Every structure is written in C-alpha cells, then in structure tokens.
Amino acid sequence: MKTVTIRRTNEQIPVGKIICIGRNYIEHAKEMQADIPDKPVIFLKPPSAIIYDGEDIIIPKISNEMHHEVELVVVIGKGGKNILASDADSHILGYAVGLDMTLRDVQAEAKKKGLPWTVAKGFDTSAPISEVLLKDEIPEPHNLNLVCRVNGTVRQQSNTDKMIFSVHKLIEYISSIITLERGDLIYTGTPEGVSQVNNGDTIEAELVGYIKITNNVKSETK
Ligand code: MG
C-alpha cells in the first residue's frame, strides 16, 4: 500500500483515492483547446501510480509523448460526504506538490474516441508526490507559486490564485459525488506550460518557498 509522509512528524498516512482535476486554470484549458468548465472536471488515478522524490518516472512503451503537469495536492485528513465549501478547511490535513504525468498522445486518442483517460493518466509512476506539509504551515493555499523545471529550465510558473475552482469548492463538489476519506489526495489541476519530457530529462516540481521534488525520466525498455 502506498503512503504519504508528513514532513514535520514523519507519520505515514496510507493513500486512499487519488482524485484529479482537469482544466482548473484558464490558460491551461486554452492551451489544450478545451472549453472553460462550468463545473470541475474530475478523474481518478490508482494509488499504485504514486512515486516519491528521487524516484524515476517511466515512459511506458505505449506512448511517445509524455507531458509534465505540476499541481498543488490537497491531502484529506477527515472524511465526509456533502461537505460544504465553508466547512472544507476542517477536512484538510495538509498540502503537497505533485506531478500529474500524462501520456498526451494516448489521451488525445481517448478524447477522439470518447474513451476514458485511465491509461493516459493512471499508469505506474504517473503520480510523483512530495512529503506533506501540515495545513498550519500553508497559511494561504490560494497564493502559492507553482514552478516546474525541466533540466533546469522553467516550463511552468503560475500561482494557485489562478485556479478556477478553489480547494474548498473542489472538496464541496467532489464530496457531493464521492465520499472523501482520510488519506485521499486531490491533485488540483495544472497551470499552462505543459510540455513533453523525454528519456534522460530531470523534472523539478516546486511549491516555491515550501517544498520541491526532483524526478528523472526514463523510457521503459522497448
Ligand atoms: Mg492535471
């Protein structure tokens, strides 16, 4: 079973569901030539997709186009159903930085055929995540600078104040459909600047001033 580690206490929390949000930044929706959603777009990754700082991201044989997506990740501390946005903060344990690694060619094919995104988004190593910062270490989750560098060059740089749906609105929406439980993760969507990575690249994903992960990209042996 995969876990996440609380940085301050070293406590290990078993990971439940991984709920991901698509198109939560206007500029990313535009670069994907997608409509701006009027309610959150949600999809799931399996917990087996998780890897940690320093581990390799593996491009599966089925793809020739893997993209990075840097995201703020919310870690649920207290479960619930039909949680109101006004009460959502009490359900949050903390925050992490993560990468929603995406097989863009596989996803494009799935979109064209109206098929699910599970293969494009849920493959092994598709969910790198940092240690977890407790909520009291992140006073303003909607004013965090997110940066993604590839081989030292900045590819994505934005602020969580540009989210279309706030963390609290996301919790309200998700929990109206899917019961949230302790250890569930919410990948809250990526800003613009997503781009391809290749065998041998090094990706750094950072919540500026708080925490960073570094992962190398490798191709699965064909
Ligand atoms: Mg994403």
Alpha helices in the chain (DSSP H): 26-31, 104-113, 118-122, 167-175
Q: How far is the CA of 124 from the centre of ligand 1 (A)?
A: 16
Q: How far is the CA of 139 from the centre of ligand 1 (A)?
A: 24
Q: How far is the CA of 222 from the centre of ligand 1 (A)?
A: 26
pTM of structure: 0.97
pLDDT at res. 35: 87
Contact 26, 164 (CB under 8 A): yes
Contact 145, 157 (CB under 8 A): yes
Contact 57, 103 (CB under 8 A): no
The residues with which 89 forms a beta bridge, in sequence order, are: none
Supply 109's token pair.
């094919």
Q: How far is the CA of 219 from the centre of ligand 1 (A)?
A: 21
| Residues with Cβ–ion distance below 5 A, ligand 1 | 69, 100, 190
pLDDT in tens, 122-144: 999 999 999 999 999 999 999 99
By three-state DSSP, how is residue 175 classified? helix
Q: What does DSSP assign to residue 177?
A: T
Q: Could you say which residues of the chain have pLDDT below 70?
A: 222
Q: Residue 99: which of 27, 220, 201, 221 has the closest Cα?
A: 201
Among all chains, which residue has been given the structure tokens 């969910």? 127
Contact 130, 214 (CB under 8 A): no
CA dist., res. 57 & res. 52, Å (int): 10
pLDDT at res. 221: 80
Report which residue type is found at 175. S
Q: How far is the CA of 182 from the centre of ligand 1 (A)?
A: 22
Q: How far is the CA of 21 from the centre of ligand 1 (A)?
A: 6
Q: How far is the CA of 100 from the centre of ligand 1 (A)?
A: 5
Q: How far is the CA of 187 from the centre of ligand 1 (A)?
A: 7
Q: Residue 163: which of 99, 71, 87, 76 has the closest Cα?
A: 71
pLDDT at res. 222: 61
Q: How far is the CA of 121 from the centre of ligand 1 (A)?
A: 9
CATH topology of domain 3-219: Fumarylacetoacetate hydrolase; domain 2 (3.90.850)
Distances (CA, A) of 186 to 152, 216, 217: 27, 23, 23
Dihedral sign for Cα atoms in the order 216, 203, 170, 6: positive
CA dist., res. 80 & res. 92, Å (int): 11
Parse the chain into domains and list their residue ranges: 3-219
